[in-house]
Amino acid sequence: MTNDRVFNFSAGPSVMPESVLERAAREMMNYNGSGMSVMEMSHRSKIYQGIFDETKVKLKAALSVPDTHEILFLQGGATLQFAQIPMNLICGKAADYAVTGNFAGKAAREAEKYGTVNVIYDSTSTGHDRIPAQSELKFSENPEYFYYCANNTVYGTEWQYTPHAPCPVVCDMSSDILSRSVDVSKYGMIYAGAQKNMAPAGLTVVIINKSLAGRELAYTPEIMSYKTMIEKDSMLNTPPCWCIYMLGLMLDWLEANGGVEGMAELRKERSAIVYDVLDNSSLFIPHAQRASRSEMNVTFRTLSAELDAEFVKGAASRGLVNLKGHKLTGGLRASLYNAMPIEGAIKLAEYMKEFEVSHV
């Protein structure tokens, strides 16, 4: 690690691998002999089309995306999908939602504008500290789709299984995509804003079963139609060119580091280092129930808001930054995405132990 870099525990936009940033910097002024930056290229040029196609191929390989599914590179963040999903998939009828956190709740509320939303599970009453078991999911009659959020970035919980539903399953994987292997064939659609675990902000990846396209409500803007975007290979208009290129660099890094299986081992190791401190502490209190814990976002607090603030400040002075919890929860949060080195988790754990010794 270069000396002036910090360990950045931000929930998003978040840390990227140094080697990826260095490569982007090297290629910034003159990409592959073109005499220009990727930022300056026409999205219709042959050279850019090559970058686009390769990135898609790499993502398809990294997640073993079956041929039944199409990969789309869209914009508008995960939040636009909260509306785009019901516009395209609810058909004026009903869908089932599991509300296990902030973003799933927002998605459910947005979907109400386009059809009937059945919230079939809601963990609000326990502060979103858990994920339901399959047996707790009581689906309604004939939902068009079932929606859930794989990793709850704000509350630090994560689904440890892929739920079965009597309809297509739609999943927000913004904060854990590419961190473990998933069987894409089990999903009608997976989507993720890129800025947590994939690329800079500005790109949304959608992986959709092509059979679900073409059911959009009549007034759906063309740019929000999955069918149109599939037909145009995400180039109805200018795509987020540079972010897609950056995703390609990230995917090269991912492959060189063991792919999603390698990432799954790393996230386990990284989070265990921090959870181990939490589990043996008389000062820090973990938020999530043990069986529902996220390996991406570790949420916890001390006994008081004042101590939390002191912890954050002390951490920053050691180059451990962005440990403040989300404003909805307060407390503390360490986001441990793919690019967080193990050393970052070790440094955080050491600081937590020292902080505890000096504050009990």
Ligand X SMILES: *Cc1c(COP(=O)(O)O)cnc(C)c1O
- Which residues of this protein are in contact with ligand X, per CB under 6 A? 12, 77-79, 103, 149, 153, 172, 174-175, 193, 196
Would you say 203 or 249 has its CB closer to ligand X? 203
Would you say 41 or 78 has its CB closer to ligand X? 78
In the complex, minimum distance from the CB of residue 240 to ligand X, in angstroms, rounded to a whole number: 12
Contact between 147 and 111 under an 8 Å Cβ cutoff? The reply is yes
Would you say 77 or 200 has its CB closer to ligand X? 77
Q: What separation, in Å, do the N-terminal and C-terminal C-alpha atoms of the chain show?
A: 33
Contact between 9 and 348 under an 8 Å Cβ cutoff? The reply is yes
In the complex, minimum distance from the CB of residue 199 to ligand X, in angstroms, rounded to a whole number: 11
Count the helices and strands in the chain (H runs, E runs): 9, 14
In the complex, minimum distance from the CB of residue 195 to ligand X, in angstroms, rounded to a whole number: 6
In the complex, minimum distance from the CB of residue 192 to ligand X, in angstroms, rounded to a whole number: 8
In the complex, minimum distance from the CB of residue 324 to ligand X, in angstroms, rounded to a whole number: 16
Would you say 147 or 311 has its CB closer to ligand X? 147
Place of tokens 């101590």: 307
Please choose, from the candidates 286, 274, 264, 280, the residue with its C-alpha nearest in 3D space to the C-alpha of residue 331. Answer: 286
Would you say 169 or 277 has its CB closer to ligand X? 169
In the complex, minimum distance from the CB of residue 77 to ligand X, in angstroms, rounded to a whole number: 3
Would you say 196 or 301 has its CB closer to ligand X? 196
Contact between 325 and 299 under an 8 Å Cβ cutoff? The reply is yes
Place of tokens 């840390």: 15
DSSP assignment of 70-102 equals EEEEE-SHHHHHHHHHHHHHTTTSEEEEEE-SH
Please choose, from the candidates 195, 177, 170, the residue with its C-alpha nearest in 3D space to the C-alpha of residue 77. Answer: 195
The residue at minimum Cβ distance from ligand X is 77
